[in-house]
Amino acid sequence: MVGIVLVSHSRALAEGTAEVARAMGVGKAVVEPAGGDPDGGLGTSPELVGRAIEAAGDGDGVVLLADLGSSVLTAKLALEDAADVPGGLVLADAPLVEGAIAAASMAAAGAGLEGVLAAAESARDHRKT
């Protein structure tokens, strides 16, 4: 199954978003949070992102979602080593919460990397008003 990694400035935000996304992925989707710095403070950590990518991957590829700023930059740096991730590693151009839920739903339905990425990115257009 395609894995999902959530890169955020906050451990709580990443974990909470992962919790919601896993529920939307009917308990099957693999969603790994990578939020905050290694000490639990606000920030982004390439080390935590790297570990989450390893944990989320089972050979079918991994989709990254990031909140903003340094999370996006850290996710982009992780892409430099994408060749080392079995099945591929991509960054979704999507809002974190909506994208994570869309990606988890699609991953749980058995879609491939391209399908999960497209689902995440389609979440950009979900209007609320």
By beta-carbon proximity to other proteins, the closer residue of 60 and 67 is 67
Rounded to 5 degrees, what are φ and ψ at 125? -100, 5
The length of the chain is 129
Rounded to 5 degrees, what are φ and ψ at 119? -65, -45
Rounded CA gap, 110 and 64, in Å? 17
Of 8, 10, 17, 74, the one binding other proteins (CB under 8 A) is 74
Question: Footprint of other proteins on residues 15-54 (CB under 8 A)?
Answer: 37, 43-47
Query: Interface with other proteins includes 70 (CB under 8 A)?
Result: yes
Of 23, 26, 40, 76, the one binding other proteins (CB under 8 A) is 76
- Least separation in angstroms between residue 45's CB and other proteins is 7
Rounded to 5 degrees, what are φ and ψ at 20? -65, -45
By beta-carbon proximity to other proteins, the closer residue of 41 and 110 is 41
Please choose, from the candidates 98, 97, 73, 75, the residue with its C-alpha nearest in 3D space to the C-alpha of residue 85.
75
Q: Which residues bind other proteins (CB under 8 A)?
A: 37, 43-47, 69-70, 73-74, 76-77
